[in-house]
Amino acid sequence: MIPFKTIRSTIVRNLSAYLGLALVEMSGGGDIPKTAFLTYDISDIEPLTPTAREVRGSTDHYRTRTGFTVTFLSYADDKATSIENAMRAQDWFKTFGYQMLKDIDVIVYEMTPVSNRDVLIGDEWERRQGFDVEFRTQSLAEMPLVEWIEQTKLTRSE
């Protein structure tokens, strides 16, 4: 399993502090901030390589390289502010965020350009700019080592 809560916490706490803006989970409920803010959604968590098995002491370790995507949307009263906040968020992933995530074995693999992601809800447009970040990390599953027979004598019966 990937350290999901640690990864999410590292991104949300530190990116929010860097931007000085609220970072809200998409479809997470709660009140919408009155000022500019960003939303995030973590998706597409999938194994990318076959599992590698390693025995250490009395534990079986199964490692898989895993990828996941985080979508960020920047909301503001005007388009310029929304674009600027999205670009500042991307800068964080290129600098401070890159190192913070690397320290917990998560790599920023790829980022899409900031693009218009406006949506019409009823009669009103919800103005937003967004981008996606793809990450790579290791998924680790462990279990106690199951004993097995290493050698045995076989005798033939007639």
Segments making up each domain of the chain, as ranges? 4-144
The two three-digit tokens of residue 132, written as one number: 């996606």
Could you give the CA distance from residue 20 to residue 39 in angstroms, rounded to a whole number? Answer: 14
Determine what percent of the chain is predicted with pLDDT higher than 70: 97
> 78-112 burial by CB neighbour count: b if 16+ within 10 A, else e?
eeebbbbbbebbbebbeeebeebbeeeebebeeee
Output the average pLDDT for the chain. 91
Closest CA to 67 of 135, 1, 140, 10: 135
Give the residue-averaged pLDDT of 64-79: 94
pLDDT (tens digit, 9 = 90+) per residue, 14-67?
999 999 999 999 987 778 888 999 999 999 998 887 778 888 888 888 889 999
The pLDDT of residue 148 is 66
CATH of domain 4-144: 3.30.70
* Closest by Cα among 97, 96, 99, 84 to 129: 84
Task: Report the pLDDT value the prediction gives residue 124, as an integer from 0 to 100.
Answer: 81
Instruction: Classify residue 69 by its DSSP letter.
Output: E
* Interval 101-130 mean pLDDT: 92
